Amino acid sequence: MFHPQKHPAAVQIAHYKAARDIITVDCSPLHMMAYVGNAAQRVAILTRRSMDFAPGFVRQLQTFTGMTAFEVNALKRDWVQGGALRPGRGSFGEMDFPRTWQVLRDRGMITGDTPWPALTDSQRDADLQRIAEMHGQAFRPLDENLDRHAKRTAAASA
């Protein structure tokens, strides 16, 4: 696993130029990949929240380099801070790991015959607790926030 934000630009460029296949999340280091990548490379972009960033990165990578780039949107749910009604920079997505594995395997980005297991409820809850402690704020499912908001709005209109 490579964390580009922890390295100087020259190291990032060297890693991007040396890679044949890259699996990444939809984040800003992809802009550099667009400048230094080449048509022989492939990039799978994992959607990490419902903000529709990946299609723009796919277009940029394909236009700048001619490489194969594609989105893997296997989001099960968005988790947002408090009562937020849309995903934002502080939110995150819960991925469907078996589906992610299947797409990446079908596209030749990974090998192996054992699908990645889904998170159990207890694993997800432990992650939510860890993230809440790290940020000092609880996270809630976006779909439940939207449902509560719609019900309050409907009740106020009645």
pLDDT at 29: 87
60 compared with 158, residue with greater pLDDT:
60
In the predicted structure, residue 7 carries a pLDDT above the cut 90: yes
pTM over 0.85: yes
Residues 110-134: what's their mean pLDDT? 94
Would you give the DSSP letter of residue 5?
G
Burial (Cβ within 10 Å: 0-12, 13-18, ≥19) of residue 8:
exposed
